[in-house]
Structure 1
Amino acid sequence: MATIPEYYAGKSVLITGATGFMGKVLLEKLLRSCPGVKTTYVLVRSKAGQSPSARVADMINCKLFDRLREEQPDFAEKIVAVNSDLTQPDLDLSREDQDKLTGCVHIVFHCAATIRFNEPLKDAMQLNVLATQKMVSLAHRMKNLEVFIHVSTAYANCDRELIEEVVYPPPVDYRKLIDTLEWMDDKLVSLMTPKLIGERPNTYTYTKALAEYLVQQECGNLNVAIVRPSIVGASWKEPFPGWIDNFNGPSGIIIAAGKGILRTMRASNTAIADLVPVDVVINTTLAAAWYSGSQRHTRPKSVLVYNCTTGAINPFRWGEVEYHVISTFKRNPLEQAFRRPNVNLTSNHLINQYWIAVSHKAPAFLYDLCLRITGREPRMMKTITRLHKAMVVLEYFTSHSWVWNTDNVTMLINQMGAEDRRVFNFDVRQLHWAEYMENYCMGTKKYVLNEELSGLPAARKHLTKLRNIRYTFNTVLVVLLWRVFIARSQMARNIWYFVVNLCFKFLSYFRASSTMRY
């Protein structure tokens, strides 16, 4: 077979969701590593008064595209913004744009989706299922289409413990559900949602499962592959380590922990944190399109599914995530931290609620009270409320583990030549988690919070100040407890003297043993 860059040479590619986190990484990697690609069409809607072209121009001016800008200064000429709204009939494409896309596109990457876990079912169906149906319909009209890649999620079938690389039939016929939702009012849909989604935790995983089945049922003679990433995090290597540009998923939790705002979280220390770097997902996606496109004339048509996960190959647990995040931020603290980084993971609901009250709500209330007294706008309780909503959404995924089958991913690696394996690396056996997590944390500092490394000395001084304040507070608290309780009770005094005497004897014994050794 041709190499991956050779396969993409001279071809036109269509990308949905190109302004999203994964979409823009896909666009950058495709243009940088496959310089022979002819044109990349990106479906973008107008937003906040900005035209699609203006939104794309803003997007490619970000840090992510710096390396590409150095290597290929004219790369923007290959990007064509197409005005489209995936929720509208015919994707809101003009007749001229429809003719253009159906006449020249060779490869489709359908990345667009709503990633809000708590999206109302009707909205999630519009963006994740109906939009996919419209994209498949458009693909059927494309005269030169070689492959259609649908980006799903590894958690589409999270109601199963073992998840294989197959499309599972959903419990509800998606066609009947689409028809039913058309006449139902929002209140009735909201009441029915828990029954519909069953053991799945949210509408996101439910609608992504429906979308997978829809693609399988309606693809017909299309050459289709499905890529299922797990929890997508910062980049591993490309275009540079630790790149991240949003607070979504684990990134917001990591930042909250670094700021000292997050102190407790409901999670299992031993549960596998199936984080997967965004560049691993993108390299898998580009390679999947290459393999299916190159084999379209010789391989029987079937929907290939790729579980793009790390848990089965290079497991990493939530307790380890917590350790590396805290240790990184203690060495390289975030600026103006609220408290020193320290997070307690617990799987017990009652213990978690206790620590939320003691470590989250009480300090936030006192901090806001101080702000009010000094005439400033209170803000910490609002921050804590938003943080708790994010944690509730993630609890399901931080408390469970799954077994993933990744045979197709292994097969894909084996089909690639040595140079392609180097340039489009997605072999997570090579991933060193400690290094990755440090780069991830530093990426949130540099690219999300825009904090310069030159500010580290001041941030470290601030952290030392917070430590001294904590020690002073604890000392005062012990003295107060002594005065209120221990000094007034003979029994308490006896217990106190016994403990002190025991400690003194232990230290004396330790000192005597050390003297005898020397």
Structure 2
Amino acid sequence: MVSIPEYYEGKNVLLTGATGFLGKVLLEKLLRSCPKVNSVYVLVRQKAGQTPQERVEEVLSGKLFDRLRDENPDFREKIIAINSELTQPKLALSEEDKEVIIDSTNIIFHCAATVRFNENLRDAVQLNVIATRQLILLAQQMKNLEVFMHVSTAYAYCNRKHIDEVVYPPPVDPKKLIDSLEWMDDGLVNDITPKLIGDRPNTYIYTKALAEYVVQQEGAKLNVAIVRPSIVGASWKEPFPGWIDNFNGPSGLFIAAGKGILRTIRASNNALADLVPVDVVVNMSLAAAWYSGVNRMMKTITRLHKAMVFLEYFTSNSWVWNTENVNMLMNQLNPEDKKTFNIDVRQLHWAEYIENYCLGTKKYVLNEEMSGLPAARKHLNKLRNIRYGFNTILVILIWRIFIARSQMARNIWYFVVSLCYKFLSYFRASSTMRY
């Protein structure tokens, strides 16, 4: 299989949550380790009087990107900030931006989410479930999408002691919950929240489980991958050890304990610290998307191979069919019907038909752009000329070798005949002298 950097070469990536902790690390790692990626579209909303471009520029000017700036100073050219609000209908995308995204996107990394444990249920559903659903609906329209990578959490099913790598049935149908929240007032929502989340600790965990189900159901026709990190902490190695930019999770505990504010904490000595470095999560996400994308192509190749095996019987044998009834039917059609309901395959121009057939598989099955056909034909002609030139040179070399060997054989033959002649002459002379 191709390497991870090779897979991302020339790809267009759509990233949500680029201004968040995980998203910005993923952006840095992608641009630094896969420098031949074509473009990265980042969906960012306006906030605190800043435009999406200004918010992205603020992220890129941070210390996290120091190493990338040294290794690739022009990396900013690949980043395209797009104004979007994930909580708004159709992600609040302009028609122009939507068209670009639909035509160009190859890989989606959905990292955006609210990570506040005390978020009210309405907002948590809006940010973690509805936004995910809207992104899935957008992804279904994309012409060249290869992978939809969804970042979830290992605690989505923390009400279970043993958690498999599957999407479990949700406690409630996400669609019904979304419809219910539309008519409920805030007081009612707050009252029913404890009953809805049940044995899950907070609305974040609850809505992330619902989001996984939405990805599985709504994205059934997409090539979907889900990554479930546990508590995401500071970087392990990349871009440098210990990078962190928030007070969430262990960071707040370490700071509070280091400042002497926190002296004790309620915990169990038998409980494991499920902490994972952010660069490990990012590497996992990039690798999982690579694996899903490559195996999508391998599945296609395997499917085609099976199809060829099934067709072998028909491509290896020939039959002769009687067509008297078909000829009778054609003769019964009047001239106008013969044109409108043409069944005379003798009129078929096979070269043109096969060419259209091939173009149709490219356009309608593989959903590939047709604009590159002239360049592809030019490249094909170049390869054909190279093959013809190589074959010509090969034939000339073989001919020269054959001629050379023939000349050598002729010289050997002359030598043997000459030797025999001399021997016979010597033998004849010796006999004459003897007599």
Alignment of 1:97-176 (within 5 A): 97-176=97-176
1:63 aligned partner, one-letter code: K
Which residue number corresponds to residue 9 of structure 1?
9
Q: Secondary structure in 1 aligned to 2:42?
A: strand
Q: Distance in 1 between matches of 2:54 and 2:283?
A: 27
> What whole-Å deviation, never above 9, does each CA across 1:228-284 have from its counterpart, x for those lacking one?
000000000000000001111110111000001001111112210000000000000
C-alpha displacement of 1:224: 0.2
- Residue 479 of structure 1 aligns with which residue? none
Name the structure 1 match of 2:273: 273
* Counterpart for residue 438 of structure 1: none
**Aligned position for 2:79:** 79
Q: Secondary structure at the match of 1:36?
A: coil
TM-superposed CA distance for 1:161, in Å, is 0.4
Compute the displacement of 1:110 (Å): 0.3
Q: Report the 3-state secondary structure (helix = DSSP H, G, I; strand = E; otherwise coil) of the residue aligned with 2:85.
A: coil
In the alignment, structure 1 residue 89 sits paired with structure 2 residue 107: no
Aligned to 1:291: 291
Q: Distance in 2 between matches of 1:59 and 1:129?
A: 26
Aligned-pair CA distance for 1:37: 0.1
Cα distance in 2 for partners of 1:140, 1:22 equals: 25
Alpha-carbon distance in structure 2 between the residues aligned to 1:78 and 1:262:
44
Q: Distance in 2 between matches of 1:25 and 1:93?
A: 25
Aligned-pair distance for 1:221? 1.4
- Equivalent residue of 1:286, what SS? helix
Tell me the distance in 2 between the aligned counterparts of 1:105 and 1:219.
16
**In 2, Cα distance between the equivalents of 1:175 and 1:221?**
19
Q: Which residue of 2 aligns with 1:431?
A: none
Residue matched to 2:45: 45
Question: Gaps spanning 5+ residues in structure 1: where?
Answer: 301-518
RMSD across aligned positions (CA): 0.8
- Equivalent residue number for residue 330 of structure 2: none
Q: For 1:169 and 1:298, how far apart are their aligned partners in 2?
A: 30
Q: In 1, Cα distance between the equivalents of 2:14 and 2:206?
A: 26
What corresponds to 1:65 in structure 2? Answer: 65
1:204 matched residue in structure 2: 204
**Number of the residue aligned with 2:361:** none
SS at match of 2:228: strand
TM-score by length of 2: 0.68
Over residues 361-413 of structure 1, what are the superposed CA-to-partner deviations in whole Å (9 max), with x where a residue is unaligned? Answer: xxxxxxxxxxxxxxxxxxxxxxxxxxxxxxxxxxxxxxxxxxxxxxxxxxxxx
Report the 3-state secondary structure (helix = DSSP H, G, I; strand = E; otherwise coil) of the residue aligned with 1:295: helix
> What letter is aligned with 1:128?
N
Give the CA deviation at 1:89: 0.6
Percent of counterpart pairs with the same letter?
Answer: 72
Distance 1:113 1:93 in 2: 18
State the SS of the aligned residue for 1:180: helix
Task: Give the TM-score, by structure 1 length.
Answer: 0.58
Letter in 1 for 2:22: M
SS at match of 1:50: coil
Distance 1:286 1:253 in 2: 29
Superposition pairs of residues 458-497 of structure 1, within 5 angstroms: none
Residue identity opposite 1:121 in structure 2? L
1:409-460 deviation line (CA, Å, top 9, x unaligned): xxxxxxxxxxxxxxxxxxxxxxxxxxxxxxxxxxxxxxxxxxxxxxxxxxxx
Structure 1 counterpart SS, 2:293:
helix
What does the per-residue CA deviation read over 1:464-496, in whole Å, with 9 as the maximum and x for residues that have no partner?
A: xxxxxxxxxxxxxxxxxxxxxxxxxxxxxxxxx
Distance 2:297 2:8 in 1: 17
- Cα deviation for residue 171 of structure 1 reads 1.4
1:23 aligns with 2:12: no
The CA deviation at 1:115 is 0.2
Give the CA deviation at 1:181: 0.7
TM-fit CA distance, 1:298 = 3.2
The Cα offsets for residues 116-145 of structure 1, whole Å up to 9 and x where unpaired, read as 001000000000000000000000010000
CA distance in 2, matches of 1:297, 1:49: 44
Matched residue SS, 2:208: helix
Q: Offset of 1:208 from its aligned partner?
A: 0.2
SS class of match (2:217): helix
User: Match for 2:253: what amino acid?
Assistant: I
Matches of 2:298 and 2:61 in 1, distance apart? 41
Distance 2:189 2:90 in 1: 25
Point out where structure 2 has 5 or more consecutive residues left out of the alignment: 301-435
Query: Per-residue displacement from partner, 1:195-226 (whole Å, max 9, x unpaired)?
Result: 00000000000000000001101113100000
Equivalent position of 2:218 in the other structure: 218
Supply the distance in 2 between the matched residues of 1:89 and 1:171 (Cα, whole angstroms).
Answer: 25
Letter in 2 for 1:211: A
State the one-letter code of the partner of 1:166: V
* CA distance in 1 between partners of 2:26 and 2:156 (Å): 21
1:191 aligns with 2:191: yes
Cα distance in 2 for residues equivalent to 1:245 and 1:210: 28
Moved over 2 A (4+): 297-300
Q: What is the alpha-carbon distance in structure 2 between the residues aligned to residue 251 and residue 24 of structure 1?
A: 18
The 2-side partners of 1:298 and 1:219 are apart by 20
Which residue type is aligned with residue 176 of structure 1? K
Larger relative contact order, structure 1 or 2 (CA cutoff 8 Å, min sep 6): 1
**Residue 325 of structure 2 corresponds to which residue in structure 1?**
none
1:321 counterpart residue number: none
Q: How far apart, CA to CA, are the structure 2 residues paired with 1:171 and 1:42? A: 32
CA distance in 2, matches of 1:60, 1:132: 25
CA distance in structure 1 between the aligned counterparts of 2:299 and 2:128, rounded to whole angstroms: 29
Q: CA deviation at 1:297?
A: 3.2
Aligned partners of 1:271, 1:248: CA distance in 2, in Å?
20
SS in 1 for 2:144: coil
CA distance in 1, matches of 2:143, 2:66: 35
Q: Which has the higher Rg, Structure 1 or Structure 2?
A: 2
Q: Number of paired residues?
A: 300
Task: Tell me, in whole angstroms, the C-alpha distance in 1 between the residues paired with 2:161 and 2:256.
Answer: 30
Distance in 1, Cα, partners of 2:225 & 2:299 = 13
CA distance in 2, matches of 1:140, 1:131: 14
Give me the whole-angstrom Cα distance separating, in 2, the residues matched to 1:9 and 1:277: 26
| Cα distance in 1 for residues equivalent to 2:236 and 2:297 | 35
